Amino acid sequence: MRSQLKITTWITVVGFGAFLIAAQETPPTPEPPTSAKSKPKNASKTGKAPKTKKAPPTKPGTTGSDRYFLEQIRQLRGEMEELKGAYNLQIRKVMALETEVRTLRTANETLKRENALKFASNKSIDKLADKIMELDKNRLNDLDITNKQIDAILKTVKKLAAAPPATPRHNGNTNPVPADFKAREHVVQSGEFLSTILEAYNAAFKAEGLSGRVTQSQVLKANPGLDPNRLLVRQKLLIPLPGEIK
Cα–Cα dist 195/206, whole Å: 17
pLDDT for 223: 94
Residue predicted with more confidence, 224 or 116? 224
Mean pLDDT of 212-231: 92
Helix, strand, coil fractions of the chain, as percent rounded to 5: 60, 5, 35
Is the pLDDT at 25 greater than 80, yes or no?
no
- Mean pLDDT lowest among 60-64, 74-78, 139-143, 217-221: 60-64
Residue predicted with more confidence, 200 or 246? 200
DSSP states along 144-171? HHHHHHHHHHHHHHHHHHHSPPPPPP-T
Residues 101-114: b if buried by 16+ CB within 10 A, e if exposed: eeeeeeeeeeeeee
Residue predicted with more confidence, 88 or 29? 88
pLDDT for 22: 57
pLDDT for 244: 87
Which tens digits make up the pLDDT trace of 162-182? 655 444 444 444 455 666 888
Spell out the domains of the chain, with CATH numbers in brackets: 183-240 (3.10.350.10)
Mean pLDDT of 137-156: 86
pTM: 0.31
Percent of the chain with pLDDT over 70: 65
The answer to whether residues 233 and 174 touch, using CB atoms and an 8 Å cutoff, is no
Residue predicted with more confidence, 110 or 158? 110
pLDDT for 45: 47
Confidence of residue 55 (pLDDT cuts 50, 70, 90): very low
pLDDT for 96: 92
pLDDT for 172: 46
pLDDT for 17: 62
pLDDT for 1: 55
232: Cβ contacts below 8 Å, ≥ 6 apart: 188
Which tens digits make up the pLDDT trace of 99-134? 998 999 999 999 988 888 877 677 788 888 898 988
pLDDT for 237: 93
Summary mean pLDDT of the chain: 76
